[in-house]
Copies of this chain bind each other. A is one copy, B any other.
Amino acid sequence: MTKLRVHNLAVSLDGFATGEGQSFETPFGHAGQRLMGWFFPTSTFATAVGQGAESGGGSRGVDDAFAAASWQGIGAEIMGRRKFGPQQGPWQDESWRGWWGEEPPFHTPVVVLTHHARPDIQVGETTFLFRSLPPAEALALAVAEADGLDVRLGGGPTVVREFLEADLVDHLHVVVVPIVLGRGVRLWEGLEGLEERFSVEVTASPSGVVHYVFTRLPRSR
């Protein structure tokens, strides 16, 4: 049974998943890199940027365990358009092929949610499918593409919130970073009572972040 999974979604203590003033140069706005400070020291990150085993780089603690889990058993991804690129409105040209160069890390089909149609593109082993779909239909498409594996919901926070509101998320991993951002995009808005649909497991990391794992309770029939 295919699950829809969210991983490594970092929020501040006051619940902001990104800061204010996002731009091409500052994708997290005034939050800068502070929401991902727990991730950069991990072996998973070191490996992703080519400084892994060969250089002995990266921690192997609980933060790394969670970071690595994001990549296990995933057959397709769904992401919002802002994760694919910083442009807004109709595509001015179609030369933008994502942030990730010629071999994106996904190696699966990726459904990019956008109101602005564009032909699908193949970049390395990753296929990007640009679609304007409501959450349930986007999920159905991704499931069909995932070849029996799970689907990762890659963000950003507004997209995650929409799928949570539609009660489509089976696994939600949130990383609470002990900073107060004060402004930005709130993750929890509109999700009052979320905990009634999930079991919750909590792990504090020596790095100071707290990992929350929400697992969807069995749905009654």
Which residue in chain B gives the minimum CB-CB distance to A34? B195
Docked complex Cα distance between A179 and B200 (Å): 10
By a CB distance below 8 angstroms, the chain B residues around A204 are 202-204, 210
- Does A188 count as interface, using CB distance less than 8 angstroms? yes
- Does A76 count as interface, using CB distance less than 8 angstroms? no
Which residue in chain B gives the minimum CB-CB distance to A191? B180
By a CB distance below 8 angstroms, the chain B residues around A107 are none
Docked complex Cα distance between A178 and B205 (Å): 17
Docked complex Cα distance between A43 and B209 (Å): 28
Docked complex Cα distance between A210 and B210 (Å): 8
DSSP class of A's interface residues: helix, strand, loop or mixed?
loop
The answer to whether A208 and B200 touch across the interface, beta carbons within 8 angstroms, is: yes
Q: Which of A6-40 contact B (CB under 8 A)?
A: 13-15
Docked complex Cα distance between A45 and B79 (Å): 47
A106 to chain B, nearest CB (A): 29
Which residue in chain B gives the minimum CB-CB distance to A195? B179
Docked complex Cα distance between A191 and B212 (Å): 23
By a CB distance below 8 angstroms, the chain B residues around A176 are 13, 176, 210
Docked complex Cα distance between A15 and B188 (Å): 10
A84 to chain B, nearest CB (A): 28
The answer to whether B180 and A194 touch across the interface, beta carbons within 8 angstroms, is: yes
By a CB distance below 8 angstroms, the chain B residues around A190 are 182
Against B, the Cβ 8 Å flags (1 = close, 0 = not) of A181-209 are 11100101111111100001011110011
By a CB distance below 8 angstroms, the chain B residues around A212 are 13, 178
A142 to chain B, nearest CB (A): 26
A213 to chain B, nearest CB (A): 10
The answer to whether B192 and A180 touch across the interface, beta carbons within 8 angstroms, is: yes
Most chain B C-beta atoms within 10 Å of own C-beta, residue among A178, A189, A193: A178
Known interface pairs A14-B15, A188-B14. Does A202 touch B181 (Cβ–Cβ under 8 Å)?
no
The answer to whether A195 and B182 touch across the interface, beta carbons within 8 angstroms, is: no
The answer to whether A182 and B193 touch across the interface, beta carbons within 8 angstroms, is: yes
By a CB distance below 8 angstroms, the chain B residues around A181 are 192
